[in-house]
Amino acid sequence: MRMKELRNQCWVICLLFIVLSWVIETQAASQRLTCNNRRSKCFLKYATCPAECPTVVPVNPNATKGCFLDCTAPTCEAVCRNRKPNCYSPGAACFDPRFIGGDGIVFYFHGKSNEHFSLVSDPNLQINARFIGLRPAGRTRDFTWIQALGIMFDSHTFTLEATRAARWDDEVDHFRFSFDEKPLILPEGHLSEWKSAEKDLKVERTSNKNSVRVTLPEIAEISVNVVPVTKQDDKVHNYQIPSDDCFAHLEVQFRFLGLSPEVEGVLGRTYRPDFQNPAKPGVAMPVVGGEDKYRTTSLLSSDCASCVFSPAGVTTKESLLVMDYDLLDCTRGVSSGSGIVCRK
């Protein structure tokens, strides 16, 4: 009996040793990050990545989450976050196209095929979208999707677009990029990244092909996928997609690190503290207008009727809304504790 008890104790000690070794190894492998956002109270504070996502860039290309230092959280902690767009969270612009505003409300903005619209317009940031689409016989409006983004900040410009494809092929990369109106080459592979000379723009692949994240330090993070209109979607919505074009388009999720209270744009206006969303509650597909207010003449212009972008614009700390709407959780009742109300 005594021998059996000793064996059991030995097994328990061995198991504890294995678990302790794993914890120590995991902690040692976890990255330590520093908050470089000067506007945050977490500035220059360190945080260790969680064991569930120990590194910013996972070695495994199929990993869905990476480590992010959340400089806006009260605890200044590193958290796990999706590396690809989440089409069902605030800041999303997906499908044809469906938006989720900073207030958590879902709405549709159809725009018009082959035209450009301002998604975000702030004194130091302008983000436009080019829409593609088609209008089957008998319809009164276009079916549309976001095909390209044009970003202006300071005196720089950046574009990313989904290239046209007759048939979708997962083994082909469907991105095209430019920086300051010159082609930008980003090699394939999930560890591939590019940084501007001034370190004010980073583009990194979040999978081998067709997924990237664009980072404007202290301004915004943008996760983007290129996807086709699938045969299933075509059948369900009766898009009547032609056989020679799969309408490759973008799925996008924005995370803004600082916007002014006067921010404008199809999506940007939903981040204003005084914004009243015109989307009608209870409607399955609430459509909001604004085409005349937000139409621009090109992908890289800020000439819409409501645009406020200025290349030399200076935004003071006091005028910024430093809030991470991407972490808004509307599953726990009407308020997430962030001072805003979740509505559907």
Q: How many residues does the chain have?
A: 344
Whole-angstrom Cα distance, residue 225 to residue 335? 30
Residue 10 has pLDDT above 70, yes or no: no
CA distances from 333 to 74, 329, 337, 344 (A): 21, 9, 10, 11
The larger pLDDT score, comparing residue 9 to residue 112, is at 112
Residue 4, pLDDT > 80, answer no
pLDDT at 321 over 60: no
C-alpha–C-alpha distance, residues 45 and 155, integer Å: 31
* pLDDT of res. 7: 62
Q: d(Cα 215, Cα 200) in Å, to the nearest integer? A: 8
The angle formed by the CA atoms of residues 129, 287 and 111, to the nearest 5 degrees, is: 30
Q: Which amino acid is at 126?
A: Q
Using left for φ > 0, alpha for ψ between -120 and 50, and beta otherwise, residue 65 falls in beta
Weakest-pLDDT range from 16-30, 124-138, 305-319: 16-30
Q: Quote the mean pLDDT of the chain.
A: 85
What's the pLDDT at 275?
94
* Percent with pLDDT over 70 in the chain: 82
> What pLDDT shows up at residue 12?
56
The string of DSSP codes covering 195-245 is E-TTSS-EEEESSSSSEEEEEETTTEEEEEEEEPPPHHHHHHHT----TT-
- For residue 323, give the DSSP letter: -
Give pLDDT, residue 163: 98
Backbone angles phi, psi at 311, to 5 degrees: -55, -30
Exposed / middle / buried, residue 259 (Cβ in 10 Å: 0-12, 13-18, 19+): buried
pLDDT at 123: 96
The pTM for the full model equals: 0.82
CA distances 27 to 51, 55, 66, Å, are 7, 11, 15
Task: Please answer whether residues 265 and 271 qualify as being in contact, where contact means their C-beta atoms are separated by less than 8 angstroms.
Answer: no
Q: 149 by DSSP, 3-state: which?
A: strand
